[in-house]
């Protein structure tokens, strides 16, 4: 007997997409729904027994009316197809009256693991036989710090058991990048005799344990440039008790791609720069095998003779427009904050002039906190007035990156570059 299900996590419906571009926000909002709908389509087409959602189905407590309607509609589709939904809330959509998910009148096929105490449900197959057991638990607060996995019951019998949890598994390579909500160890998961662990929380797709197969499917659609590449869900088939096969399906209609181009020191004009960017981006997109709708973020970095132009908003806008056309990409963000004037800083270091003195001061500032505090602006825009001395120092130190280059660029006449 085969137990088939879809495993997804971190849908983050109603994510507030951070962009000043309304069209982009709307497109992303629609795309995330489209991705979710595609996951439901996949579940129906594969005739799965269940859909497992490992937390963070919503991004925040204020689930919009329209999204709620959309969600219910999609779950009703699954209900019509006789597919059960198992949903284990995470840190973004935990238990609590302030969270909308707790007030939703879910369709009858939806099982929500509201409590941190694990609960098990059986899944019935075509011939009215039990094909699997889903055990899950939910976060009870925004910062669930308890190890919920350790409380999961040990599986017995021949029916495959699946653990469903929004958790951070500590000790694997990417875990440091994420908040330690409902943390657990690999050992916790291995000790339960489960066939499969359907996890959520980590937005990058990762198969962290081979046996029992333990997967972070990642979110179903990237939400910012840092969440690049194909995103989607896992289609899992379990033959017998533990013959597990999991296949990734990219369902995101939109991909994020963020690239840094730092070899722009030799461009002579905008044509040169356009060509360089286009060639580089096309190569990167091809290498990353991104052929669908891409939201591209290109960060230009390093010294560039077109420094002045690349800090001119109008020039950057024109270049962005031109690149969109050349790359045939609808959304492109061109970041030029880190483009610097070509400067040979050593030429001025220790010089008998104000600039030489300034470079020396910057070198001292990196070590001399008192001096840093003295020369730092009296009123800092980026630091609250009640900030601690340590915070201020750290903040100010952050400002020192490449400050010497900037000062040289500012003080040295353009003709001397």
Q: How far is the CB of 23 from another protein (least distance, A)?
A: 11
| 61 versus 190: smaller Cβ distance to another protein | 61
3 CB-contact burial (10 Å; exposed 0-12 / middle 13-18 / buried 19+): buried
Cα 33 to Cα 322: distance, rounded to the nearest angstrom: 30
Contact 251, 232 (CB under 8 A): yes
Q: How far is the CB of 26 from another protein (least distance, A)?
A: 7
Our finding on whether 365 is near another protein (CB under 8 A) is yes
User: Which residues are CB-neighbours of 287 under 8 A, at least 6 positions away?
Assistant: none
CB neighbours of residue 20 within 10 Å: 6
309: which 2 tokens? Answer: 């132009």
Element (H, E) at 6: strand 2-8
Our finding on whether 379 is near another protein (CB under 8 A) is yes
| 149 versus 359: smaller Cβ distance to another protein | 359
Contact 118, 148 (CB under 8 A): yes
Our finding on whether 333 is near another protein (CB under 8 A) is no
Q: How far is the CB of 360 from another protein (least distance, A)?
A: 8
Cα 360 to Cα 406: distance, rounded to the nearest angstrom: 14
Contact 224, 18 (CB under 8 A): yes
Q: Which one of 120-128, 154-162, 246-254, 396-404 is the stretch in contact with another protein (CB under 8 A)?
A: 396-404
**Number of residues located near another protein, criterion CB under 8 A:** 52
H helices present in 127-269, as ranges: 186-190
Q: How far is the CB of 416 from another protein (least distance, A)?
A: 4
Look at residue 170 and give its three-state secondary structure: strand
Q: Which of 23, 26, 157, 187 binds another protein (CB under 8 A)?
A: 26
Cα 132 to Cα 155: distance, rounded to the nearest angstrom: 11
Q: How far is the CB of 146 from another protein (least distance, A)?
A: 29
Q: How far is the CB of 273 from another protein (least distance, A)?
A: 23
Cα 40 to Cα 83: distance, rounded to the nearest angstrom: 10
Our finding on whether 381 is near another protein (CB under 8 A) is yes
Q: Which of 81, 260, 316, 403 binds another protein (CB under 8 A)?
A: 403
Our finding on whether 413 is near another protein (CB under 8 A) is yes
Q: Which of 17, 99, 196, 234 binds another protein (CB under 8 A)?
A: 17
Residue 157's Cβ-side half-sphere holds a number of Cα atoms within 13 Å equal to 10
Q: How far is the CB of 15 from another protein (least distance, A)?
A: 6
Our finding on whether 314 is near another protein (CB under 8 A) is no
Give the relative orientation of helices 65-80 and 22-45 as an angle to the nearest 10 degrees.
10
Backbone angles phi, psi at 92, to 5 degrees: -85, -20
CA distances from 414 to 48, 273, 340, 351 (A): 67, 20, 13, 18
Our finding on whether 93 is near another protein (CB under 8 A) is no
Contact 310, 304 (CB under 8 A): yes
Q: Which one of 55-63, 85-93, 226-234, 313-321 is the stretch in contact with another protein (CB under 8 A)?
A: 55-63
Q: How far is the CB of 51 from another protein (least distance, A)?
A: 23
326: which 2 tokens? Answer: 């050349």
| 154 versus 381: smaller Cβ distance to another protein | 381
Our finding on whether 328 is near another protein (CB under 8 A) is no
The footprint of another protein on residues 177-206 (CB under 8 A) is: none
Look at residue 48 and give its three-state secondary structure: coil
Q: Which of 317, 337, 344, 368 binds another protein (CB under 8 A)?
A: 337
Our finding on whether 226 is near another protein (CB under 8 A) is no
Our finding on whether 22 is near another protein (CB under 8 A) is yes
Q: Residues in the site for another protein, rule: CB under 8 A?
A: 14-20, 22, 25-26, 29, 59-60, 62, 64-66, 337, 351-355, 357-358, 360-362, 365, 375-383, 395-396, 398-400, 403, 406-407, 410-413, 415-416
């Amino acid at each position: 007997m085969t137990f088939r299900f879809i495993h997804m996590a971190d849908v983050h419906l109603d994510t507030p997409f951070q962009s000043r571009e309304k069209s982009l926000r709307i497109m992303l909002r629609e795309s995330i729904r489209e991705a979710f709908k595609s996951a439901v389509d996949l579940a129906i087409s594969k005739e799965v027994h269940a859909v497992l959602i490992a937390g963070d189905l919503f991004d925040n407590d204020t689930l919009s009316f329209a999204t709620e309607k959309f969600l219910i509609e999609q779950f009703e589709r699954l209900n019509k197809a006789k597919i059960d939904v198992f949903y284990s809330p995470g840190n973004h959509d935990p238990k609590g009256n302030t969270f909308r998910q707790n007030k939703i009148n879910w369709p009858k096929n939806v099982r929500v693991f509201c409590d941190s105490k694990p609960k098990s449900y059986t899944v019935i197959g075509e011939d009215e036989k039990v094909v699997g057991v889903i055990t899950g638990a939910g976060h009870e607060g925004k910062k669930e710090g308890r190890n919920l996995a350790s409380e999961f019951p040990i599986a017995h019998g021949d029916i495959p058991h699946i653990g469903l949890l929004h958790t951070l598994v500590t000790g694997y390579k990417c875990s440091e990048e994420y908040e330690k909500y409902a943390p657990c160890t690999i050992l916790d998961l291995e000790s339960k005799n489960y066939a499969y662990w359907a996890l959520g929380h980590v937005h990058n797709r990762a198969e962290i344990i081979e046996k029992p197969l333990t997967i972070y499917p990642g979110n179903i659609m990237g939400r910012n440039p840092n969440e690049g590449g194909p995103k989607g869900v896992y289609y899992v088939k379990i033959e017998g008790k533990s013959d597990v096969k999991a296949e990734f399906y990219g369902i995101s209609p939109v991909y994020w791609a963020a690239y840094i181009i730092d070899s722009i020191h030799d461009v002579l004009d905008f044509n040169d720069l356009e060509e360089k960017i286009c060639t580089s981006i096309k190569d990167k997109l091809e290498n990353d095998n991104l052929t669908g709708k891409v939201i591209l973020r290109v960060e230009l970095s390093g010294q560039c003779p077109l420094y002045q132009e690349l800090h001119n908003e109008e020039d950057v806008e024109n270049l962005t427009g031109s690149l969109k056309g050349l790359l045939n990409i609808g959304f492109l963000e061109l970041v030029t904050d880190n483009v610097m004037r070509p400067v040979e800083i050593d030429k001025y270091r220790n010089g008998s002039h104000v600039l030489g003195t300034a470079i020396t001061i910057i070198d001292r500032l990196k070590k001399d906190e008192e001096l840093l505090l003295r020369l730092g602006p009296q009123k800092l825009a980026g630091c609250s007035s009640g900030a601690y001395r340590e915070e201020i120092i750290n903040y100010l130190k952050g400002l020192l990156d490449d400050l010497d280059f900037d000062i040289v660029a500012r003080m040295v006449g353009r003709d001397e570059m």
